[in-house]
Structure formats: structure tokens, C-alpha cells
Structure 1
Amino acid sequence: MNTPTTTPAAATSRRQFIGTTAAASALTVAQSAWAAGSDEIKIGLIGCGGRGTGAAGQALSTNQQGITLHAVADAFKEKADGALSNLRNKVPDKVKVDDSRIFAGTDAYKKVIDCCDLVILTTPPGFRPYHFEAAVNAGKNIFMEKPVAVDAPGVRKVLEMAKVADEKNLKVVVGLQRRYQNCYKDALTQVKEQGIIGDIVSGQVYWNGGGIWFRDKRPDQSELMYQINNWYFFTWLCGDHINEQHIHNIDVANWFIGGHPVSAAGMGGRMQRVDKKFGQIYDHHYVEYTYENGVRVNSQCRHQSGVSNAVREEFTGTKGKIYLDNSGRCYANDHKGNTIWKYRPGGKDGGAAKGGAKKLDPDPYQTEHDTLQAAIRENKPLNNAYYGAESTMTAIMGRMATYSGKELKWEDVLNSKVQHMPNIITPESEPPVKPDADGWYPIAIPGKDIPGAPVV
């Protein structure tokens, strides 16, 4: 599904990365990228799974006029058809896709990019850098889901193309929706501007939950298409759940601390996910991230059943501690346990403690698309690709630390040449990993060099 059209980005130092993320390039295109002289914005959906279908529904539910779904693409025709059926039921007046614009196959993304103004990139994450590259080169505005890559070469490509997006005055939103959620934005203001907890000295971020879906191999499927359909369990497509899912919490740490870590060390493995059908990924990761200012953040993520769950973030400061939760229950205590701040959704007292933010606040998933389309219409700068790449690289560094059992430095992992995602994938391609004679896929073992499972 990916054919690169530019050479890989050059090696990047931590200082260059910070400089890149600190400021956008000067805008050189006067008009936003959509059909010139037209009030219509034609949306194309690339990747028609559950998240893609949801994102398309949100893109079609803004208050903007002239928004239509124009084309869809997926590696599997039945998924494209399923997404269209769902969207036609939800927003029938805005789905303008005829049979000639339902594309299937590993190169279907190119056809959607060719005929649309705004593209939604929601395929398995391994494809993201190449689809982003193609969309930027074609001058399209972009919503892309997190994570934006599965390896360092992919992150460097996204950073390279983010600069081109700025030069072309394109608008880019990345699906790290906590950055668009009122309780998190209010909490950040309290921490950064009001100083309610003082200077942050440590943090804990969690995504401990149950497992994920699994799809059996169909008799007619090649090994490649089986892996693409079952993408979550393969590092080259997913990057492991620390990257695909826990990135949300890791991103909050980078956001609140104000940068990326300089090193990481950790451990992980497979305790419940022991069947060969579960491909390559671990079922738990624990990482200690150290930031440039000496702050340490402990990161936990787990896919196990029958155990305690937690999806939240906490930061301790010199004056107190702040607790964050995407349900809207966000508050801060001083070191004596007294509440010094509590988020009030919609300005209502007590609502957060009862989960009221879900009802009283805007849906951050929807806000992402509202913001993107408003930026296109009003020609305002908007490019989330930089922090999307930074947080993706942070998650990848954590995975590399748990897979290797080594303490790793930011400069080394950002410039790593280990590439899990091939440059080119066609229906005839051999997948980069294959099962052995007993059906086992290569799984990283700390301290060992496992063929087919490179780490650093």
C-alpha cells in the first residue's frame, strides 16, 4: 500500500527535532488546498475499519457547508462497502460515493488522493508515513490517526513531509484527541500558567486494559493479506500496543512536560498472550522515561484480562499532584490531600465526578474535525504532524527499550536504521515476517538478537 516518492529523511539530532517542532515554516501558499473556486470540500477515506468509519462520520458531522464524502479505499473491498453502508445510514445526504470511487487493493489510496481535497488516513499505522507523503506531495489537507509510524525511518519521513506541508500551507490534524479535550486543556492551563502544582518532578501514565480483537485466517488469504487484516499483532503494521494505543498517555506526558524524553529503559513480555496466533506483540510493557530536565515518567500498558485496569495520567509537582482522565474527572490536590482544583465541565459544579464531561463538553473526536475544517475554510495555520511524530517516536523508543532490555538514548533511536515497514508493498509482496514450520512468528527477546525481530 505504499510506494515512496522521496528519499528517506536525513538523520535528525534531538536539537534539530526540537527546533523543527518549535515553529512552523513560513506559509507560501495564499489559498488553502481544496478545489479552487468551489465551496465543496471532497473528503476521501483511506482505511475503512472502525476508526476510519468513525472519523469519516465525524468529518461529515461538522457545521461546515459543502462537506461530502467523495471516495473510499481499503485493502479489502468488503470493508470499504461496510464503511459506506454505515455512513449512508448515519449521514445519507453527505455521502456522494458512486461505485466508480470505491477502491480496493494495496494501491487504492493513490486513487482517493487523486480525486479528493481532504483525506482521512486510518489504515494500519505502518502505512501512515507513505500515505502522508503521497497526500502532502499531492497538496491535500489531512486528518491522520495516531500513531504516525512504527519505526524511526517512518518518523523521519513524517517530519520531512511535515515541513513540506507547511510550505504548501496544508492543514494537518493527528488523532491524539486529548489535545482537543476541554478538561485536558484546562488542566494544562492550571499547570503551566497558574502553577497550581509547582514544577513537575515526576509522572505516571497508564493504559492497562483487556485484549484486542483477533481475526482468523481465511482459506483464500495469502500470508501478506492475513497479516494486513490481522495487523494489530505484527510490529511492522502496528508497532505494538505501546505505540498504537498507549501513545495517547505518552503524548500527554510530552505535552505537559514540554518536550520528549532523552532516554528510556524498560521491560515487557507475554504472559497471557502466549498463543502463536498472537503474532509478535507483547501483552505488557513498563518503561521509565527520563526527560531533559530530570523528570522521570513511569509508563505502564497492559493487554490482560482478569486484572486491574487503568487509563489515566498523573503528574507530581513541587506543590501538589494533578490527576487526569479522559472521562473528564480531572483534579489537583496539594501534598496534604486538599483539593486545589477540579475541572467543571460546562461550568457545572460536580459534573466531572459523575462523568458529566461526556455530556456537557464537546466530543474531542468531533472537535478535531471541526478545528481542521475551520482552519481550511479560514486559512489558518494548523499542523499537528510535528508533535504526532514526536510522541510516536517516544512510544517507539519505549518499545525498543522493552524489546531489547537496554537503556536507550533519544538521538540513537531517532536515527536508528531499523526499519520494520518495507518501502513497497504490493499484493505480490512477501511479508517482512513469516511463521516458522510450527506457526510461530519471530518475537523479540531482551538480550538476544532474534532473526526477523530487529530492535536497535
Structure 2
Amino acid sequence: MKSNVSRRNFLRQGAIVASGVSVFPESLTILKKGGSLGANDRLRIGIIGCGSRGNRVYMNGIHNHAEAMNAEIVAVCDPWRVSREQTNIKVKEWYGHDAKQFVSYRDLLQMKDLDAVMIASPDHLHTTHLEAAVRAGKHVYVEKPLAMDMDKLIRATDAVKKSGVVVQIGTQLRSLPGINGARELFRQGKIGKLSRVEECRNSPRPYWYGYLRDVKEEDVDWKEFLNDRPVRPFNPDVYSAWYGYYEFSHGPIPNLGAHFIDIVHYVSGAGFPESCVCLGGTFTWKDEHKFTTPDCIQATWTYPEGFLVSSSNNLGNGMGSVRNFYGDKGMIRMSNWNEPFV
């Protein structure tokens, strides 16, 4: 059934619900508002992981709000010398001083005058870095997916609960006005009883190819990168394009799908699924890089609230992406996160 809610009204409602997206992490805003720091104190932040997320997205977000929030980046950490030095160049340009540079997160977390860290390390290190940071009393913004191993996840979340610090995970799409508008209209019953949510993501090639770099062994602390993974000879492909290796990242379902499933929960208000099935493999991209992360994969969840969720990913076809919420009165299309419509 076609909804009588116009696209223009839908987007207007979304804008009312959320006036805009803040790229400065809410967890760090809370520190200033909540009195964790003195009124005149500067928020001193460290970056763990200086790749594209840490060096660009996180640092740019902090810099854009640095004056309003009285914040600055004072330390950077990465096993690759090149990333550390490139990140420090930005710090010096923005703040007029060098950042303290570290190879190991352990050394960075020993800084007494460090208030918070932003974790943008490879997926297999998120829980390790999170647990260590909160045990050191640092507030944290950590990239998704939070974990690859359930035991490590439980240990890290237990440490967070005992720490008293503020932690936020990087599922930021719920800050978008359109997503909040979709949530409001769903809860007003505009599409009726939810029966199914689907995502079909297509792209011409896997995203991990874009991260391949000519990394020299002498510039990397290989053991720091591997952490608890088995020791093996240095491999520049594994180091730079770790997204493409299953031992270090489980691929598009937990990585890209973390946003999708978060929005399913946020819009619908549903809790935990009662079952999940996932199938896939590396079917298309077989070459000298020997990637092992699935390039074609599908997952299906069932929820006790009475609906089905599916996510399929084909990283060998560029036909675009589709995301839909289906109810017995209508549907919400979210192919463009910024412009959903009923």
C-alpha cells in the first residue's frame, strides 16, 4: 500500500528529529558536559591506529570541533612509521606542536595527561585496545565492529562496566536526520506490522583492494600488528589490506553490515535476534593477493518480534545497493542512508 507521507514531509520530519550529524564523537562531548573535566581544561586525545579512519575521518572530526570543545590531539600510535609521521605532520600543522609518537598502544596508554583515545586499529585489535584503554582510565571512541571473538568481547565489556569511563562505538548512522525520521514514522505505524528488512549491497570489487600499499618490512613492527595471531613472515598485503584476510577481518557482514543491523535495531526497537544463518565465500576475486575474506556472502536473522532480516553482499557486481523495511501497510526505502522515503 502506498503511503500518503510525501518524501518532502518525511525529510522535514527527519530534520526536526535530528538537526544534523556531528562528526565529533558524542562520547567526547559528554566528557565536557558531564563534568569529567574542569571548565577550563583542554581535552587531550590520542589516536590508536593512523590509517584512513584514524588519520582522516577521526582526526578531521576532532579538528573541526577542536576550538568549540577545547580539544587537541597530543599522541598518535601505529606500527607503521610512515603512518605515524604523516599523522604527526597534521597535528603539528593544526596545533603547533608535535604529537608524541608510539609504536605500541601500551606506551601511549601510560601517558598520565591523556584524557581519551580514539581506536581505529584493525578489526582483530579493537577489543584488545579497548580493554587496555579503559583499564588505564581513558575514555574511548572505538571503531566498529567491536569484536571478532566472543571471549574477548565479554572481557572488554566487563572492563568497561567496572571502569567508570565513557565508551562509544562507531555506528554513527543513527545521527543522520533521515534515519531519525524513518524511526519516528515507523513508530507512528506508517508502514504497519514489520515483516521483513532486506539489504542487498553490490560493488564492482571488494573494498580491501583500495588499501593495498607498498609497505617495507623495516618500517613496520610486524609483531605489534599480529598481536595474538600466529607468527608468520612479513607480508605487505596482509599488513596494508588486512580487510581482505579473514584472520584479521570477517568481511562485509560485520564490517559494513554493522551499520545496517544497528539501523534495524534503532528503527524497529527490536532486541536480540533468536537465530542467524550465514553463507558465503571468495568466489570472484582470486589472484596473487590470495584474499580470504568472502566477496559474496549472505546472512539471515529471525527476531522474536516476528520479522526476518537479510543482508546479501556481492563485491563483484556494480549494480548498486538496496535497503528496504517492509510492513503490511507500506515500506521504507533506505538505499540512500541520507534520503530514505516511505
TM-score bucket (shorter structure): 0.7 to 0.9
Aligned to 1:272: 284
Q: How does 1:8-87 map to 2 (within 5 A)?
A: 32-34=35-37, 38-53=40-55, 54-62=57-65, 64-87=68-91
User: Per-residue deviation at 1:71?
Assistant: 0.7
CA contact (8 A) 2:140 2:166 kept: yes
Change (3 A) 1:65 1:299: closer
Change (3 A) 1:173 1:134: same
Cα distance in 2 between the residues matched to 1:85 and 1:206: 40
User: Per-residue deviation at 1:298?
Assistant: 1.4
Aligned partner of residue 201 in structure 1, secondary structure:
strand
Aligned to 2:125: 127
CA contact (8 A) 1:133 1:161 kept: yes
CA contact (8 A) 1:183 1:328 kept: yes
Cα distance in 1 between the residues matched to 2:147 and 2:154: 9
* Runs of 4 or more consecutive aligned structure 1 residues displaced over 6 Å after TM superposition: none
User: Per-residue deviation at 1:198?
Assistant: 1.4
| Structure 1 residues without counterparts, runs of 5 or longer | 1-29, 333-456
CA contact (8 A) 2:45 2:72 kept: yes
CA contact (8 A) 1:207 1:246 kept: no
CA contact (8 A) 2:200 2:312 kept: yes
1:274-309 deviation per Cα after TM superposition (whole angstroms, max 9, x unaligned)? 1252332110111111111231111112322x4312
User: Per-residue deviation at 1:217?
Assistant: 6.1
Cα distance in 2 between the residues matched to 1:47 and 1:202: 37
TM score, norm. by length of structure 2? 0.76
2:185 is aligned with 1:181: no
- Residue identity matched to 2:276: A
Aligned to 1:163: 161
2:132 is aligned with 1:138: no
CA-based RMSD of the aligned residues comes to 2.5
Cα distance in 2 between the residues matched to 1:294 and 1:83: 48
- Residue identity matched to 1:97: D
CA contact (8 A) 1:121 1:144 kept: yes
Cα distance in 1 between the residues matched to 2:178 and 2:43: 31
2:197 is aligned with 1:203: yes
User: Per-residue deviation at 1:37?
Assistant: 7.2
Cα distance in 1 between the residues matched to 2:92 and 2:323: 37
Cα distance in 2 between the residues matched to 1:322 and 1:84: 44
Aligned to 1:318: 328
2:310 is aligned with 1:298: yes
1:113-158 deviation per Cα after TM superposition (whole angstroms, max 9, x unaligned)? x541011100002111111111111222111111111122232233
Cα distance in 1 between the residues matched to 2:114 and 2:166: 14
Cα distance in 1 between the residues matched to 2:193 and 2:324: 14
Aligned to 1:360: none
| Structure 2 residues without counterparts, runs of 5 or longer | 1-32, 223-232
Cα distance in 2 between the residues matched to 1:84 and 1:176: 27
2:105 is aligned with 1:110: no
User: Per-residue deviation at 1:38?
Assistant: 4.8
Change (3 A) 1:198 1:88: farther
Aligned to 1:307: 318
CA contact (8 A) 2:48 2:105 kept: no
Change (3 A) 1:234 1:228: same
Change (3 A) 1:271 1:216: farther
- Between the two proteins, the alignment pairs up a number of residues equal to 290
Cα distance in 2 between the residues matched to 1:136 and 1:33: 15
TM score, norm. by length of structure 1? 0.58
Cα distance in 1 between the residues matched to 2:133 and 2:291: 31
User: Per-residue deviation at 1:162?
Assistant: 3.4
Aligned to 1:97: 98
Cα distance in 2 between the residues matched to 1:291 and 1:276: 41
CA contact (8 A) 1:125 1:150 kept: yes
Percentage of identical aligned residues? 23
Change (3 A) 1:182 1:65: same
1:38-60 deviation per Cα after TM superposition (whole angstroms, max 9, x unaligned)? 52110111110111122122022
CA contact (8 A) 1:150 1:235 kept: no
1:407-435 deviation per Cα after TM superposition (whole angstroms, max 9, x unaligned)? xxxxxxxxxxxxxxxxxxxxxxxxxxxxx
User: Per-residue deviation at 1:97?
Assistant: 3.0
Aligned partner of residue 150 in structure 1, secondary structure:
coil
Change (3 A) 1:65 1:77: same
- Per mean C-alpha deviation after superposition, the further-off stretch among 226-235 and 178-187 is 226-235
Change (3 A) 1:109 1:284: farther
1:356-410 deviation per Cα after TM superposition (whole angstroms, max 9, x unaligned)? xxxxxxxxxxxxxxxxxxxxxxxxxxxxxxxxxxxxxxxxxxxxxxxxxxxxxxx
- Residue identity matched to 1:77: R
Aligned to 1:440: none
User: Per-residue deviation at 1:175?
Assistant: 1.2
